[in-house]
Chain A
Amino acid sequence: MMDKQMAYDIISFQLNGQLVQTELNAGERLSAALRDKMHSRDVKIGCDAGDCGACTVLIDGAPVCACLTPAHQANGREVETLSGLFLENQHAKNLADSFQNYGAAQCGICTPGMMVSAVALLNNNPTPNSDDVANALGGVLCRCTGYRAIIDAVIAAGTETSPYDAKGHTGAGIRRLDGLQKVNGTEQFGDDIAPSDALVIRVIRSPFHRACFHFGDLDAWAKGTPGIETVLTCVDVKGENCFGVIPPFADQPVFAEREARFRGEAVAAIVGLASSIENFDESGFPVVWEERPPSMTVFEAMERDAPLLHEHRVGNIMCGGFVSRGMPDATLNNSDATVEGHFSTSFVEHAYIEPEAGFALVKDGRVEVYACTQAPVMDLDELEKILGMQRADIRIVPTGIGGGFGSKLDISIQPYLAIAALKTGKPVRITYSRTESMQSTTKRHPAEMSVKIGASKNGKLTGMVFDGLFNTGAYASWGPTVSNRVPVHASGPYVLENYRAEAKGIHTNGPPSGAFRGFGVPQAAIAQESLFDELADKLDMDRLEFRLLNVLENNDETVCGQVFAQGVGIRACFEGLRPAWQTERKAAEVYNSKSKILRRGVGIAGGWYGCGNTSLPNPSTIKSGIRQDGTIVLHQGAMDIGQGANTAIAQIFATTLDVPVHQLELVGPDTDITPDAGKTSASRQTFVSGNAARLSAQALRKDIIKLVNAPQNAQIEIGQGEITISDGDIVHRIDLALLTPDADGFVLRAQETYDPPTKPLDENGQGEPYAQFGYAAHLVVVEVDTAMGTTRPIKFVAAHDVGHAVNPMLVKGQIHGGIAQGLGMALMEEYIPGQTENLHDYLIPTIGDIPPIETIIVEEPDAHGPFGAKGLGEHVLIPTAPALLNAIKDATGIRITNVPATPSRLRAAIRMHYKEQASG
């Protein structure tokens, strides 16, 4: 018996063509064995429960989730992963090309699962159609791309050549410069870098929404538990046990001190050997909880006797934002037509496929943190405060990031890593489980919005009043930003001379609400754009023409009194939708005349979004240089979280310097060597860091030309060890070997900063909050099964004014991905603390949920943007949800005001509607 047991615990199998052998524990997963024992870190783990498919590998040619495969069952079989397939399988090679050509890999975390599944499909069926692809890839979730580019890439694999562009300047839809590592399995994400013997950290979290707690003898517990090195609590926080992205509102402890304010809040962490942490049974940890009654909704939290989450915030009100102009109440009272409504939205989870992960060590007395992040320099700011250390003694090295969408702006794992590394003096690592990631990181704010809008009978808007309560959860995070942004944006991109909007952030015992693509604007757009349809209907006007009658134009005043002399592109967006609006409405009418249970409808909605911080400084700095050998180096500090900053910023730089983009060597946002290009948020990188890159290239170019006294328009060519400058027939040569390199090895260098021009808002919110806005309008056709309450989107048309499309392929990628997230928010996503803390209870759209998307790129150049370019990252989901709700109304006559419009909710509304019709 004993022998037999031993024999089973050592298995051998073919891994990517090599025979491998390993020892196993009972019940060990193949995913863990591959990553930890065979260093196959191209196998990604997103959920450990078969929900995301990122870990898909082939066993004897069949695609399976490695996380649900007992490693013992691989014995004697053939296992293939992306890195092996990329080298040996022709379909994988074709897919690698095709994924890059179509932008099918954004952040890249799902790409191994997608590509491995696609290889299995193509091995059996080399010419699949889109349904075949959707079936084969249905078990792999992607949060970035909206899936359509992936479908196109799989269908086109092996049939097309690369859209190579020799110069790769702005306007060219070139492949991502960092694309190859995403398709060959070598990209290193937060969980992919730690040495395998690093100590592992596990956080102890509150199981209650609100609870007091006290510890037993932690030292004795640690000493008595094999493999545990130490326990961390608030006493190990040597600096301030308080962080927050907006320093005046900082309120979140690294470890709670007496009371946990939300379910999943950290109270302690244990650090130990990987095997001990893996088998750790939390029930033995010496902590005693006393549950307290929580306030879960803004209404509960605002009751007179509700306990205060933070003593100094009276009424649990964190802060508010306000914009007012004209006489909205009086005008609404005298308007020919008014509509009003109350709209509610839910917590929405970012659901990036990469859970937070990283690694840290102490080196020469400095602490180095390698982790996934959207904002390396903000991480540094926070750690400086928390650790109570000199800034110079902390280094942040961002790893590849498997999606962020706003949540990875806030620190999560970073303080645990740094504190544990400093306390133990050993390398440490941490990876959140999917549940931890969902419980403890930020969410989109649930909103309660009461809105009233009026118009005259000729269809001109007269006034609007917006009142919004935003559930900011237990801690401030980006709540103040949401409160400020919403009143500025709640009008939508329309002329409203009489307007008042107020938004308040309210603390509850929910998870902290923070930044999520749009900072509250998508919620406000649901209310405003829904009511615009109601108003148009009341006035008996075409819903699109009603909007066009009221859109902002160049030289109009926004609700903040800001005037743009150029670049207001919302009219062009809506006009771009007009042909589809007319034909699709007719088609739906014809369809509905023959169908009772299945009803089709068409919806439209618009949106706008100001790029960068609201009336606050928001600089980016870009450093560049030329080495003696002629290498052009771009310190690209704008975190590429999948959106493509590494490519777009480089294209802007190369265009300005007038060199081919492929000649650049990119250096990433390591805080030791690359200046601060700000955070990747608020659709600011293309605009702000893009401008800094443009200025840096301009300065470099000027310096080069100055060396030979040529005119500014001279042509430069940077070659091996030399620069050639041509001014008509006169040709100058600079021998770079004759120049002296500086400490960075640069013989020529430039560092420039750009800060967008804004002006403060006064007490009525009047001013110049943003240097630029981007504009968008979406159209969607849906089919509602009225017997079941299901909504099936059939087609999207999305028009976006991007000023100038720096890289049209990346632009399309943003639009598709934003639509997928907007669709999720509108139709299925609802984070309920304690109930939907994994990816099988919290549903995000799968490949089958996203219909074809037609994109219309509008280019109304912005006065400040680089080459006229505007930001895009948030704009892409703002109109999606209201367009869907408007389409549901068009199809069924039912206005859903509480999102998500789940089948259960929609069906109940349909039932009520028919009952009312029958009795009325």
Chain B
Amino acid sequence: MRYERPDTMQAATALLAGAEAKSFVLAGGTDLLVRMQNDDFEADLIVDIKAISGMAKVTETDDGFVIGAGVPSVALFEDTALVAAWPGVVEAANLIGSTQIQGRCTIVGNLCNASPAADSVPALVAAGAVAQVAGPSGTRDVAVIDIPTGPGKTSLAKGEIIQAILLPKPNARTGDAYLRFIPRTEMDIAVVGVAVNLTLNEDGTVIAARVALGAVGPKVILVDTAAKAVIGSKLEDVVLQALSESCSAACTPINDKRGTVAFRTQVAGVLARRAAQTAYTRAGGK
């Protein structure tokens, strides 16, 4: 197995594109180093992208935020502008592992690992985030929701690396929130995760909504029916009930030791209701 630490993105994508057998991108290492211990793990090449300049920065632009692929989660909640703009995204990143893991792990890694339970992914999807993908023939932008295609699988082609996540500037009166369920207070994989992003008009009516679910299907689910249920409302009880029901209806979870199908389905509805209320308050609704 070869370890490479290129200092340009071009060199990194060239290495990956030229690899003859299995190759992996290494950022924080929190998923890869665990996988490497498995007896059936095979790789010929590991490309460490942390030495590429600009990878470890969060940049605020006119359009929004550019989060480099090497930015550890801990740096997101130290960025006050980002916290103010996208509190739900930051709180999701703040739920990955522990402080000791957040010092290492990255949201791009969380996305590329393509676990259905990834905490930051529903929040990014609800926020309308875009992945900036670098490849041998240049860069392209892909909506985050289109990156994972199933457990452990992504739409990235050979030689491609996500070099950054782009978060838009939120519109006025926008708020997002992420809630997840785990059986203890911290440090576990989400059994259900729900992200809600709402934009209100001046009188507090929801005019735009995105609702995304994690851990209840093979990949993140954007629930349009849930968004439709809340648009035009002020989250009245009956609306919340409809939101909750449409989220439950969108679930196609597995049955495992962490929760049954019935449990996950029902909890998705409960969390959606609670996350929507938080997002609504954050958007300035009363």
**Chain A contacts to B: CB under 8 angstroms:** 5, 8-9, 24, 26-27, 29, 48-51, 53, 56, 59, 62-65, 67-70, 72-73, 113, 117, 135-140, 281-283, 787-790, 827-828, 830, 832, 835-836, 840-841, 843, 845-849, 902-904, 907-908, 911
Contacts and interface: CB of A to CB of B under 8 A. Distances in A.
B4 interface: yes
Contacts of A904: 183, 258-260, 263
B33 A70 contact: yes
A72 B3 contact: yes
B237 interface: no
Contact of B186 (A27, A50, A73, A138): A138
A346 to B, nearest CB: 11
By CB atoms of chain B within 10 A, which of A56, A840, A904 has the most? A904
A840 B99 contact: no
Contact of B266 (A26, A48, A50, A907): A907
B34 A8 contact: no
7 contacts: A9-B3, A65-B30, A68-B101, A69-B104, A139-B97, A139-B187, A788-B181
Given A8-B5, A846-B185, A27 B33 contact: yes
B99 A903 contact: no
Q: Sort A-B residue pairs by CB-CB distance and give the 8 closest, nearest first.
A: A139-B98, A848-B185, A26-B3, A64-B103, A139-B100, A904-B263, A138-B186, A904-B259
Contacts of A847: 186
B286 interface: no
B104 A27 contact: no
Given A281-B39, A787-B270, A904-B259, A72 B98 contact: no
B34 A903 contact: no
B56 to A, nearest CB: 11
B50 interface: yes
A138 B259 contact: no
Contacts, number: 143
A53 B102 CA distance: 12
A68 B260 contact: no
A72 B5 contact: yes
A68 B29 contact: yes
B256 to A, nearest CB: 8
A27 B1 contact: yes
Given A70-B33, A904-B263, A139 B270 contact: no
Contact of A63 (B30, B103, B260, B270): B103
A840 B190 CA distance: 11
A437 to B, nearest CB: 14
B160 interface: no
Contacts of A138: 98-99, 185-187
Contact of A50 (B34, B36, B40, B188): B34
Contacts of B187: 51, 138-139, 840, 846
Contacts of A56: 100
A825 to B, nearest CB: 13
B101 A50 contact: yes
Contact of B33 (A67, A113, A282): A67
A327 to B, nearest CB: 44
A845 B36 contact: no
Contacts of A830: 257
A370 to B, nearest CB: 26
A263 to B, nearest CB: 15
B90 interface: no
Contacts of B185: 138, 846, 848-849
A29 B260 contact: no
Nearest to B37: A48
B147 interface: no
Contacts of A849: 184-185
Contact of B28 (A5, A49, A68, A136): A68
Contacts of B36: 27
Given A27-B33, A27-B46, A56-B100, 4 more contacts: A64-B100, A70-B33, A832-B257, A848-B185
Contacts of B33: 27, 29, 67-70
A136 to B, nearest CB: 6
A789 B271 CA distance: 13
A343 B30 CA distance: 40
By CB atoms of chain B within 10 A, which of A68, A836, A841 has the most? A68
A53 B187 CA distance: 11
A276 B135 CA distance: 37
A345 to B, nearest CB: 16
A835 B256 CA distance: 10
Interface in B25-52: 26, 28-30, 32-34, 36-37, 39-40, 46, 48, 50
A832 B48 CA distance: 36
